[in-house]
Amino acid sequence: MTVTPAADAPERPAQPLEQPRLDLAVIAEMVAHGARVLDVGCGDGALLQLLAQKKGVDGRGVELSQRGVNECVAKGLSVIQGDADTDLSDYPDDGFDYVILSQTLQATRRPRAALANMLRIGRRAIISFPNFGYWRVRAQLAFSGRMPVTGRLDYHWHDTPNIHLCTIRDFVEIVDELGAHIERGVAFDRAGAPIRFSAPWWVWNLFGEQAVFLLERGGRRP
Amino acid sequence: MSVLSEARPACSEGFAPKTVVFPPDRPLLTDGGGRIAPLAIAYETRGTLNAACSNAILLCHALTGDQYAAGVNPVTGKPGWWEAMVGPGKPFDTDRYFLICSNVVGGCMGTTGPASINPTTGKPYGVDFPVVTIRDMVRAQAMLIDHLGVETLFCVAGGSMGGMQVLQWAASYPERVFSAMPIATAAKHSAQNIAFHEVGRQAVMADPDWRSGRYQEQGVRPEKGLAVARMSAHITYLSEAALQRKFGRKLQDRSAPTFSFDADFQVENYLRYQGLAFVERFDANSYLFVTRACDYFDLAADYGGSLAMAFKDTKTRFCVVSFTSDWLYPTSDSRAIVHALNAGGASVSFVEIESDKGHDAFLLHEPMFIATTRGFLDSAANARGLAPDGTSK
């Protein structure tokens, strides 16, 4: 993980830009050319750089860790030190085309408020998160009786910044509650292969290790 | 140009202390309804202005700073106030950028101020000098920039009162500021800020040698009052942790307290030294005027109370910097600026630098601050089409 969702999270080595993290590549593919993008929890700025290079976006970032912000500013990215839980309310309505939260939702104190703010600030929101309904997670808890530690959830229960984990089903439900609609959704298995969009939710929820959703504000599809 | 008493600066010179005098037909009209004419502006430039005039940076000095940002200050014989940041290969790279730094109006290092001669009386202005504001300081700087033939500044940067000037530049002349670095500053002076300044001013005015501001004519100087003002202000520039680390309760050249009012403690001795060194180089009335200019600063007030309106539709790229242990202009002040810029959709970066050195951290060698500044300027230079040698691509 290149994102550092909490100030006290353990340092993780950043992956080289040449091989963007799977979910970042998918997110970049979802963003329209030249869009205005706010990346919340932008880490070392890998996604913002990717979006600038591939999509020519006008990108801004918010990052909690001083190290991350410094790395971003040193790369020439417009990034401010801030907290997804407290600082999103300062952004005006419709300030951006897309607001992105990659691998950070589970580390926010109030995920629902964060999602609502994202959909207020941008007409579209893109969220990637680890799926707690993934079969390996379920299996670890069920058969070893201990808190799961997997590739995507690589923390012990006592040092994890992930305080609000959810499953794909949980996420779909909260999107519904917020009155947003899912424009696109992608789930990946452990090998990084996408699960067919036509597959039923329970298949996604069982075999997807992580998911990326593109949401649109307001009015559900007729 | 109807200006002046000197030719264009020779930009190829590495060091160019200059004074430009704007004649009476080009007065500086102040916010307070005053008129300053003639107006002398003392400034220094470093580096070379490129052919496209696109690599000029204006450095704005803090309360008691001056135009000598780098190199040796000819008045004090000490390094310039931003020696850590300005010079060949440093973030404000004199091999790449053309750096301009001028003494503020109301100052005492060559720019017209209360110690200058009032043309209507033939005597020093003293307290008859018009009370100037941060905006007046910036207006004077704009006159200088016009004189130097620079239309758009590549960057305006400064800390503390210098940061206020940066904000005022970005608000008053958005199209002339490509990038801006307001550092360790605030968009308005707080009650606490004003209170500390008032203590300093009262100390000056309580000195019998102040003579109602007419001390120059009477051949005296309110040195004791000014030294006390500096001592109290100096405490606000440091953090409690820095004072504790540097001095603690250590005694000065003695092994036991003397049970007197001597400077028993090292911290007392240090402050007394700071006060004495300051009165050597600074004019007491200038101190009254520059502190007053800060107190009156409230950028949002000029824009219907909305700081966001001050930066509406700005194209300027901002990098706001604060320091964790700065309690004079705390991070919350910088955040207020960032929020306003965000609300206006501006391109803004914000970094809070971890440091225990207090407000003065921006003047010191802080590696993270240096790296941030370098990164911000590099990316702005790329956007501006500036080659590493400062030429226009």
Angle at B376 between CA B57 and CA B381, to 5 degrees: 55
Where on the phi/psi map is residue B260: left (φ > 0), alpha (ψ -120 to 50), or beta?
beta
The number of angstroms, rounded, from the C-alpha of B128 to the middle of its chain's C-alpha atoms is 23
A26 in any annotated domain? yes
> How far is the C-alpha of B220 from the C-alpha of B72, rounded, in Å?
29
Rounded Cα distance, A180 and A170, in Å:
14
Q: Which residues of B carry out catalysis?
A: 160, 326, 359
In this structure, how many other beta carbons lie within 10 angstroms of the beta carbon of residue B376? 26
Judge: A92–B343 Cβ closer than 8 Å, yes or no.
yes
Pairing state of beta strands B56-60 and B98-102? parallel
**What tokens does B380 get?**
């702005």
Distance from CA of A174 to the nearest CA of B (A): 28
Provide ipTM, 2 decimals: 0.75
Give the separation between CA B84 and CA B138, rounded to whole angstroms.
Answer: 24
Q: Are residues B258 and B201 in the same domain?
A: yes
Closest Cα to residue A48, out of A17, A86, A22?
A17
| Residue A154 pLDDT level (bands cut at 50, 70, 90) | confident
Q: Note whether B277 and B320 are same-domain residues.
A: no
State whether B270 and B376 are in the same domain. Answer: no
Q: Is B22 inside a domain boundary?
A: yes
The residue type at B109: M
Q: What is the mean pLDDT of residues A148-164?
A: 90
Place of tokens 């700073």: B65
Taking only the tens place, the pLDDT of each residue in B326-376 is: 999 999 999 999 999 988 889 999 999 999 999 999 999 999 999 999 999
Left (φ > 0), alpha (ψ -120 to 50) or beta: where does B220 sit? beta
Tell me what the pLDDT averaged over chain A comes to: 87
Cα separation, B1 vs B25, in Å, equals 12
H/E element, B292: helix B284-295
For chain B, the domain total comes to: 2
Same-domain pairing of B203 and B273? yes
Domain boundary among B293, B317, B332: B293
Domain enclosing residue A89, as ranges = 22-216
> Which tokens hold the place of B10?
């020779």
Please say which residue of B278, B293, B308 terminates a domain. B293
Are residues B71 and B132 located together in one domain of the fold?
A: yes
Q: Which of A76, A80, A92 sits opposite B382 (nearest CB)?
A: A76
Residue count (chain A): 222
**pLDDT tens track for B296-313:** 999 999 999 999 999 999
Q: Under a CB-based contact definition with an 8 Å cutoff, are residues A26 and A128 in contact?
A: yes
Q: Which amino acid is at B290?
A: V
Q: Is residue A2 part of a domain?
A: no
B383 contacts on A by Cβ (under 8 Å): 76
pLDDT confidence of residue A158: 94
- Are residue B150 and residue B273 in the same domain, yes or no? no
| Closest residue, chain A, to B91 (C-alpha) | A74
Of residues B118 and A84, more confidently modeled: B118
Statement to judge: residues B280 and B306 lie in one domain: no
Each residue's pLDDT tens digit, A59-104: 999 999 888 998 898 888 999 988 889 889 888 899 899 999 999 9
Same domain, yes or no, for B141 and B228? Answer: no
The CATH number of residue B56's host domain is 3.40.50.1820
Say what the pLDDT of residue A20 is: 67
Q: Does the distance separating the beta carbons of A66 and B351 come in below 8 Å? A: yes
Which residues of chain B have a CB within 8 Å of the CB of A79? 349-350
Site from B315, B350, B377, B379 to mutate, A interface, most A CB atoms within 10 angstroms: B350
Q: For residue A11, is it within any domain?
A: no
Q: How far apart are CA B65 and CA B137, in angstroms?
A: 13
Give the integer Cα–Cα distance in Å for B144 and B142.
5
Confidence band for B112, pLDDT divided at 50, 70 and 90: very high
CATH code for the domain of B274: 1.10.1740.110
Rg over alpha carbons for chain A, rounded to the nearest Å, is 16
Residues B164 and B217 in one domain: no
Which three-class secondary structure string do you get for chain A? CCCCCCCCCCCCCCCCCCCCCHHHHHHHHHCCCCCEEEEECCCCCHHHHHHHHHHCCEEEEEECCHHHHHHHHHCCCEEEECCCCCCHHHCCCCCEEEEEEECCHHHCCCHHHHHHHHHHHEEEEEEEEEECCCHHHHHHHHHHCCCCCCCCCCCCCCCCCCCCCECHHHHHHHHHHCCCEEEEEEEECCCCCECCCCCCHHHHHHHCCEEEEEEECCCCCC
Domain residues for the domain of B242 are: 193-293
- Whether residue B177 is found in the same domain as residue B324: yes
Q: Place A222 in a pLDDT band, splitting at 50, 70 and 90.
A: very low
Regarding whether B198 and B120 lie in a shared domain, the answer is no
Indicate the residue among B293, B319, B346 that finishes a domain.
Answer: B293
Tell me the count of A-B CB pairs closer than 8 A.
64
Residue B107 · residue B290 · CB < 8 Å: yes
Query: Domain count of chain A?
Result: 1
Integer angstrom CA distances of residue B71 from B139, B367, B370: 26, 20, 18
Whether B169 and B105 share a structural domain? yes
